[in-house]
Chains A and B, each alone.
Chain A
């Protein structure tokens, strides 16, 4: 019996059955919560609006990959146009949010870069005088980080001097290839920090995960079943532990009683019918856009501004990590279609604040392969390197052949992730006219890249160009800020001790609704500059452990 058929056995709760915990979303955080709650003996139902991934649909190993993936596996739901996703109103944002609905969540289309936040990320007010400190520290979270790494099957090399000392990763680092070596060469010549990439991709077989074969198509679904997503890392174990998973279940409302306690959720099932799932505790794990959207759709007449929103902070402080990329081409062959895609090496040289640079906080760089000939041509696809005002002839004819000859197999990409500072004007609201396939209001993103981010990105682009030229680059192409880059959706239900200024406490419990929890990156007070999935899963584990330990004291309806 495979995992999917196991999941179909009695997934939906009996009519009017009240479960201990209903979880909204089967992505990284919801999967962690489901596994550990089920193992602790609690009855758990997870409601996921998407479906199980079908690995045969991942085209990475087939010739048509570049043609198909730019539509079917595009990270922007508006481009993908899959009815299981909800559309997003992007008319008022500089950066488009990227996400995927399905078991495994948006990680289905992530690069699997596996990075902890750094100690300073938890103390930005104390160290840099901006935003707020987190209620807990790097050291508080580290044990959960290390435990999650073992569950996920991370490959990496310990000893990076950009982090406090830590134990070894579960698996040896993946080969960094010619791309990683060339990226490292540039950093070496500048005397700057670099380190072999840590990735949520095991270099050896691990449970349901196969060893990475460097297929290089991580961002569009791994056809090898090697990239760690929770449909393979967590759900086989969670289902065996008794957790139930209902797919194509789009939650439209969190219900509460007269006392203001959560009583469950209402969802639209695969047949378009409304169903109710009663629960003693509800956990939202629907990402930094989906979670505030659901709270804003809930609340009814008693809470016209949305549920759990007495602070007015639901949806506000959206952070998306403004992103720049530099494609650098070299004379030498780099086999630059080979993976891993996410990061063969990374750099934290400019992570920490240096106010002489004219901005606060910093950046993380990851060195990636540049992929197949269509992508590097610049002629179609992401268009990140194509000037809108450019003539089409610049990318076709003899120019096409020359661009491809210069770049294909000879280039790398440095991606620059900039820390995004929280601003209340950057927010998720409900669209007044756009709806999803069930007629529910779509989220609208109101977001501007701020001046600190613009300065940060320009400084880092200038440094990156120095590095790639030091390694012999013969051509460079810069894109900033990349519009299709909102992979990291952070901050929209901020955690804190003050109910007037925050939505949840340090354990993810809503101040207004004590049996309603949020366990995705919505709760992060600040964004750091590293890829957040490791921290999302570690925080979810920390919260879940606390919930289990305190279950007898949990206030319920």
Chain B
């Protein structure tokens, strides 16, 4: 089996369709995974190794073997699969994740804890610290 087919089989086992969320292969390609791998060249060797194996093995058996015998390869394959998936714009849209966004705010706005009484309760419970002895 070619590397791209092996990877997609593994990725679809790791990330299948579930509820509203699509399977890996429905939204991501092997080329997407290769682009992700370009950000982590340290994983390339393990990733390549992780896609070698007995084509007769099921995806689960392949991953089970990797997990037991070659942790670095298992980590490389799974890291690339999950990061590629959650970088995908459609997946982010379904999750409601805009990425690590910039949020504007008014630094001088009165915070709710100052008006709803909650911080007042903290103050009402009194001093917490132990003063310097002898002062």
- Taking Cβ atoms with an 8 Å cutoff, the residues of A that contact B are 60-68, 70-71, 81, 118-120, 122-123, 126-127, 137-139, 159, 161-164, 171-176, 181, 184-185, 188, 191, 193-196, 203-204, 211, 213-217, 224, 333, 337-338, 348-349, 351-352, 372-374, 377, 379-380, 392-393, 396-398, 400-402, 404-405, 408-409
Contacts and interface: CB of A to CB of B under 8 A. Distances in A.
A60 B129 contact: no
A65 to B, nearest CB: 6
Contacts of B112: 181
Nearest to B98: A337
B39 A67 contact: yes
Contact of A409 (B14, B36, B95, B108): B95
Given A184-B118, A396-B15, A213 B104 contact: yes
Given A60-B100, A392-B67, A402-B18, A137 B126 contact: no
The 10 lowest CB-CB distance pairs between A and B, nearest first, are A67-B83, A203-B107, A401-B18, A162-B128, A213-B102, A214-B103, A119-B132, A63-B87, A396-B14, A120-B130
B113 to A, nearest CB: 7
Contacts of A372: 86, 97, 99-100
Main secondary structure of the interface of A (DSSP, over half): loop
Nearest to A159: B123
A139 to B, nearest CB: 6
A465 to B, nearest CB: 21
Nearest to B99: A63
B129 A162 contact: yes
Contacts of B111: 173, 175-176, 196
A373 B97 contact: yes
Interface in B77-131: 78-79, 82-83, 86-87, 95-97, 99-105, 107-108, 111-113, 118-119, 121-123, 125-131
Contacts of B36: 64, 67
Given A176-B111, A372-B97, 13 more contacts: A67-B39, A71-B40, A161-B123, A164-B129, A188-B121, A213-B102, A216-B100, A352-B129, A374-B83, A377-B82, A396-B15, A400-B14, A409-B95
Contacts of A172: 107-108
Contacts, number: 167
A337 B100 contact: yes
Contacts of B75: 380
Contact of A61 (B63, B74, B87, B100): B100
B30 interface: no
B21 interface: yes
B128 A352 contact: yes
- Report, as a range, how many residues of chain B touch the other chain: 35 or more
A63 B104 CA distance: 20
Contacts of A66: 83, 86
Contacts of A119: 129-132
B31 interface: no
A379 B18 contact: no
A64 B78 contact: no
Nearest to A352: B130
Nearest to B103: A214
B68 to A, nearest CB: 10
B133 A379 contact: no
B115 to A, nearest CB: 13
Contacts of B125: 161, 191, 193
A263 B14 CA distance: 61
Given A119-B131, A392-B63, A379 B122 contact: no
B82 A380 contact: yes
Given A217-B100, A380-B78, A68 B16 contact: no
B56 interface: no
Interface string B50-64: 000000000010011
Given A161-B123, A161-B125, A397-B16, A379 B82 contact: yes
Nearest to A126: B133
Contacts of B21: 401
Contacts of B126: 161
Contacts of B118: 184-185, 188
Nearest to B127: A161
Contacts of A392: 63-64, 67, 74, 78
A398 B18 CA distance: 6
A70 B36 CA distance: 13
A214 B103 CA distance: 6
23 contacts: A63-B99, A68-B39, A137-B132, A161-B125, A172-B108, A181-B112, A184-B113, A185-B118, A188-B118, A193-B128, A196-B119, A213-B102, A214-B103, A215-B100, A224-B102, A349-B128, A351-B129, A372-B97, A374-B86, A379-B82, A392-B78, A401-B18, A408-B95
Nearest to A373: B86
Contacts of A123: 132-133
A196 B126 CA distance: 16
B25 to A, nearest CB: 14
Given A63-B99, A68-B40, A409-B97, A118 B129 contact: yes
Nearest to A162: B128
A127 B99 CA distance: 48
Contacts of A193: 122, 125, 128
A384 to B, nearest CB: 15
Contacts of B128: 161-162, 193, 348-349, 351-352
A211 B40 CA distance: 31
A542 B133 CA distance: 22
B32 to A, nearest CB: 11
A338 B122 CA distance: 25
Contacts of A379: 78, 82
